[in-house]
Chain A
């Protein structure tokens, strides 16, 4: 349910909305609304399997299904641009990064007996509380707002773009600064190790293909990996 509601937030804020006076009822749903509900249920199911499955890589793959389902929800709400960006960023990059990390460290085929955390009841409580808070806020804020699904697309690239750069420029720029800071931080963290060791110039050149770059013997993590993320 959390996923569905966040999907609604994204589009209703960006879309031109009709007044509350002539709002349609809940009892005669249209085809799009039924599809939205069904895809939402499938997404929710995939999300639940993601957190309950005992197989690590399966969890990542079910996450792909959940994120893809979310993209379909955006599409059904006519937010085409957001849908494709969702696929591009989350399915195409974040999940690939996740799988990369899993394969680099450990990705056993079959069940991982230690995949469960002792904190899972606490985690469930936190998740339920967060979901309840989000649902409540969203329902309270958008109870009287409706988007017209039959008219022209209200979440097209043009509408989203002009909305973003006319009404939400400041948050947008603030987010870019945050991302820039994270980027600089990642570079600083990954470069720090070089100052400790005395790497002679030219050693990398003579290293054989396949050998690891010279570094401290017990270095945690792979050098340079942070830069890619």
Chain B
């Protein structure tokens, strides 16, 4: 009975984080973007600095009519938001927050592979939405999503492999146990490549060509309204949380910190993740959108060679140490 309670409690906590963290990132984005652009952002909902703006948005989305276009493929159109959102929930389960067995939803032996594999499924949701909408803008968005995923998955995998080589394990908790501070300069190129490729996989600016609202009217999500559209938005922000947490765990040492690693390790993880999420928002405000050919060029001529160089460096240092 105790085991069942334990598992239920862990899953409940993970689910809670899954519901709350994306909203926090969203609200931070509202405020940070506003202040970077010299305005205030939401100020009224909830009273103090508009903290309840996203709750109000959620209520608004829930009230809207859920429209399915007449020419659309109904079933695929309706399933797509769930396919886009659920993988991120699954990924959150395996990310370790602190040291020991107690601070992870469920430790998975081949953690890196699990995480990257499941994150890849999320993109299928955008593809399904783009195709099933029976709208040429949506189809264009779906096409661009697929092209982007195909080119950015490779550098992401290669850099993750570099960390796995360094740690000698593919388990996320194992990687954190093996972490030393000098991995930071050693793997810094890999960290940058991983983070940039992850941003591209999430279709965040400056890699938001597939959902460019001013060109193809939000791409694959053109025809979506109400709760289904909100689910896609939630998937984007859950993706930010997952990507930042993953970069923290793989490259920034997760719960390791200058002090207090025993009791306050989880605080380090959260701090680093929040910092990365801030960078994600910052990039959105500061960089213009990359054109489709520039996107492909960046992946194939910059990120892939850099990732390969990182793997070579990792191999050389690893052999030298041994």
Contacts and interface: CB of A to CB of B under 8 A. Distances in A.
A97 B151 CA distance: 11
Interface residues of A, number: 32
A87 B131 contact: no
A209 B153 CA distance: 25
B interface secondary structure, majority: helix
Nearest to A86: B117
B86 interface: no
Contacts of A84: 110, 113-114, 117
Contacts of B108: 80
Interface in B19-67: none
Q: Which of B132, B134, B146, B169 has the largest number of chain A CB atoms within 10 A?
A: B146
Contact of B143 (A91, A100, A229): A100
Given A84-B114, A103-B139, A228-B147, A96 B123 contact: yes
B142 to A, nearest CB: 6
A57 B110 contact: no
- For the side of the interface on B, what is the size category? 35 or more
Nearest to B127: A99
A103 B150 contact: no
B146 A91 contact: no
A88 interface: yes
A91 B119 CA distance: 11
Interface string A79-121: 0110011011001110111011001100101100000000000
A157 B170 contact: yes
Contact of A81 (B76, B110, B121): B110
Interface string B110-125: 1001101110110110
A209 B121 CA distance: 30
A156 interface: yes
Given A91-B121, A153-B109, A96 B127 contact: yes
Contact of B113 (A85, A93, A99, A224): A85
A194 interface: no
A181 to B, nearest CB: 19
Given A99-B131, A103-B146, A228-B151, A93 B139 contact: no
Given A80-B110, A93-B153, 15 more contacts: A81-B110, A84-B114, A84-B117, A85-B113, A88-B116, A88-B120, A88-B157, A91-B117, A92-B116, A96-B123, A96-B124, A100-B146, A209-B291, A224-B296, A228-B147
Interface of B: 71-73, 76, 108-110, 113-114, 116-118, 120-121, 123-124, 127-128, 130-132, 134, 139, 142-143, 146-147, 149-151, 153, 157, 169-171, 291-293, 296, 300
